[in-house]
Amino acid sequence: MVIDIMPRKKALKRKPARKAKGKSGLDRQMDHFGEEVGALGERFGKGMEQKGREWDSWYCRTFGPVGPVVSAVFGLFILSLAVWLLSVVNLPIGSGFLDNVGNFLFDNLGLFFVIFLFFSYTSYLSRVFPKGYRPLSPIVTALGVVVALWVAAQAVIIANVSLGIAVLTGMTSLVLINIAWIFGLLLVLGYVIFSIKLALEGPGERREKIMPAAKPVHASRPVKGGPKRLYRSGREKILSGVCGGIAEYLGVDPVIIRLLWVIGTFAWGFGILAYIIAWIIMPRNPNHKWED
């Protein structure tokens, strides 16, 4: 029998791992502020996009195939007005550069009208016949890039009359000489990309499942018997719930607080800044439902 005379080492007690410190109240409130401002911007963008779609739909229904002609005529009117204003402004100045710009625009009014008409009709066709327009989209894109290059080259030529930089003259001449080759290259590239997209889509195209975003941790719930906390309201909320939260804290109608805020804004001018500061400092009411 072997006796173990060696003292056994005591099992080392592992210290419990420290829990990662959570975000402080101010950090959470700053996160909430950023989320809500981002959500407001997103809602505003979606609203403007919806208004634009409604306008396009009304415009197409009202004018039909004549709509692109109306748009082109309106664009030509705006361009002619700009040429006239440029000439009026240049009368006392006598700038050769402005005179060249005005002459270029005036001499090419007919060409600009054709450009406006072409792109107006392509836009109309893309809304009315989206499937039929799709194979034509590479042509429209290539023409758009070529027109933009031509206008940019003409602007550089006009500006270079007074600058006299030889490099700019060579570059613009190179672009204008090879404008047809540039169009052909863009057209081939556009149809290659279009073919790749068609091949990738296919009949059994998989749609990515969007996972719901994790909801942020709300502020801790108030302890019973503790002091009454001031929160932003998720029920009486127009923008961020600041006025509604103050009204709930004071037990008054939120309209009164909003009226006082409007009066304070116009009277002293600090209402907007104070509102943003309160938005950042005041936490959300954890008992209310918040849409992130």
Q: What is the mean pLDDT of each successive set of 10 residues along the chain, which is 292 residues long?
A: 49 47 65 74 73 67 79 89 87 82 87 88 82 85 87 81 75 85 89 84 48 43 60 78 84 81 67 72 76 58
Please report whether residue 73 resides in a domain. yes
pLDDT at 213: 45
pLDDT at 214: 44
pTM above 0.85, yes or no: no
pLDDT at 120: 85
Please report whether residue 12 resides in a domain. no
pLDDT at 203: 55
pLDDT at 119: 86
Q: Report the alpha-carbon distance of residue 175 to residue 185 in Å, rounded.
A: 13
pLDDT at 20: 44
Residues 157 and 73 in one domain: yes
Residues 187 and 92 in one domain: yes
271: containing domain: 229-292
pLDDT at 11: 47
pLDDT at 17: 46
Please report whether residue 53 resides in a domain. no
Please report whether residue 46 resides in a domain. no
Burial of 285: CB neighbours in 10 Å, binned 0-12, 13-18, 19+: buried
Please report whether residue 41 resides in a domain. no
Residues 279 and 184 in one domain: no
Please report whether residue 64 resides in a domain. yes
Residues 75 and 160 in one domain: yes
pLDDT at 271: 65
Please report whether residue 128 resides in a domain. yes
Residues 71 and 128 in one domain: yes
Structural domain count of the chain = 2
